[in-house]
Amino acid sequence: MIYLHIPFCKQKCSYCNFHFSTSFRGKDDMLQALKKELRLRKDELENKTLKSLYFGGGTPSVLTGDEIKGLFDEILKYYSFADDIEITLETNPDDLDAAFVKELASTPVNRLSVGTQSFFDEDLKLMNRAHNASEADASIKRAQDFGFENISIDLIYGSPTSSLVMWKENLNRAVALEVPHISSYALTVEPKTALENWVRTQKITAPAEEEQNEEFYYMCDFLKNNGFEHYEISNFAKPGFHSRHNAAYWQYEPYLGIGPSAHSYDGGSRRSWNIANNALYVKNLEAARLPAESEILKEKDRFNELLMIGLRTVWGVDMKKLNDSFNPEIVHRFSLDVESKINEGILRVKDNRLVIPEEHWFMADGIASDLFII
């Protein structure tokens, strides 16, 4: 599978610490650099038939239809698409006007991930989103009218501007729109963001963990009661609409990351990542140099990653894979720690898979880190 990072946004969301630029002056050069990186790295993926292609960012929907088609033309020089390929484009509601959605419908894109975040203007204002509440609703309906059925929306809970009543209404409106996938995240105060500065200077109160916990578990019950499967801590899907791209990450399949700050993985122990600087990324590729660094993961790092990712999913961690793939000493130490957590009820073994019961998923990252090999 391939991930393309499109590092441009109209404006900076208050909570975001991803890599992007709000200046579009170098967009043409960036698109040429992306195509050149695809060409230079065309032999890294052994399987030339793609099952997943993901345009992320940044905001890929700031590209024109012709620019998106140009990237497809380049990709198809080196790869073919599986008959059932999932091709996702991350979008913002304010970009999904009728003209752009019509253009998208003429491309191979068959899945949209819409950064809705909230259906309330007070939330969107705090987050410094470029769209308003009415656009959040209208953009999804418009995409559906043009034939896009596989739509995921992002929602953020636990905002200081929100409440449990508002959160319930957000979920009601999401279900009413009949989208088959919802990704939902607690508002998090990340370093070097506007939100972090506002909290530090007491312009706003920090998100309350107790309220986020309540809203998370309400969401779990509500969405399951409305036909969604809770298959990963932050992801809910109607049957048949799981994100194949994300599932491939969680199952440690190889992937190629194209664009500044994009990460790649060879399916074994090697990871690489591109420089998180647009100008240097372009400059390197103009000189036919790959702007990447790489590392060979140590056994303990691979073990810890497997735990962190697996315990966030409904499928958990395959105990046989752990026993077969890692040093017996590591597995033995791990087994001792697991036993105590099973006795506490915060871990469970089901079909030889180690899982966190859903009632403890809000604490999953902490549970996993307690089991890490240091």
Residue 69 has a pLDDT of 97
Percent of the chain with pLDDT over 70: 100
pLDDT in the model for residue 248 = 86
pLDDT of residue 259: 97
Average pLDDT for 305-328: 90
**pLDDT 10s digits, 344-372:** 999 999 899 999 999 999 888 899 999 99
Model confidence band, residue 335 (pLDDT cutoffs 50, 70, 90): confident
| Residue 66 structure tokens | 């012709």
- pLDDT at position 152, please? 98
DSSP secondary structure code for residue 361 in this structure: G
Answer whether 307's CB lies under 8 Å from 371's CB. yes
| pLDDT higher than threshold 90 for residue 322 | no
> Half-sphere exposure of 115 toward its Cβ, with a 13 Å CA cutoff?
22
CA separation, residue 266 to residues 50, 249, 276 (Å): 15, 11, 20
Flag whether pLDDT at 251 surpasses 90.
no
The 8-class DSSP code of residue 8 comes to B
Q: Is the pLDDT of residue 17 over 90?
A: no
pLDDT computed for residue 268 by the predictor:
86
The stretch 219-244 carries a mean pLDDT of 96
Q: What is the mean pLDDT of residues 206-218?
A: 94
> What is the spatial distance between Cα 347 and Cα 350, in angstroms, rounded to a whole number?
10
Instruction: Report, as an integer, the average pLDDT of 17-39.
Output: 93
Question: What is the pLDDT, as a whole number, of residue 97?
Answer: 96
pLDDT at position 330 is 87
pLDDT of residue 252: 81
Assess whether the previous peptide bond of 345 is cis (omega < 30° from 0).
Answer: no
**pLDDT computed for residue 329 by the predictor:** 87
Per-residue model confidence (pLDDT) at position 331: 86
Residue 40 has pLDDT above 90, yes or no: yes
User: In the predicted model, is pLDDT for residue 189 greater than 90?
Assistant: yes
Question: How large a percentage of the chain has pLDDT more than 90?
Answer: 82
Asked if 193 and 16 touch (Cβ cutoff 8 Å), the reply is: yes
What whole-number distance in Å separates Cα of residue 231 and Cα of residue 362? 14
Q: How far apart (Å, rounded) are the C-alpha atoms in residues 174 and 343?
A: 38
- pLDDT reading at 18 higher than 90: no
Mean pLDDT for 270-292 is 96
Q: What is the DSSP string of 93-149?
A: GGG--HHHHHHHHTSS--EEEEEEE-S-HHHHHHHT-SS-HHHHHHHHHHHHHTT--
48 class by beta-carbon count within 10 Å (0-12 exposed, 13-18 middle, 19+ buried):
exposed
pTM for the full model?
A: 0.94
pLDDT value for 204: 92
Kindly tell me if the per-residue pLDDT of 332 is higher than 90: no
Per-residue tokens: 97: 């006007």
Query: Mean pLDDT across the stretch 310-328?
Result: 90
The pLDDT-based confidence of 81 (bands split at 50, 70, 90) is very high
Mean pLDDT in residue range 13-39: 93
Average pLDDT of 77-101?
97
Identity of the residue numbered 280: L
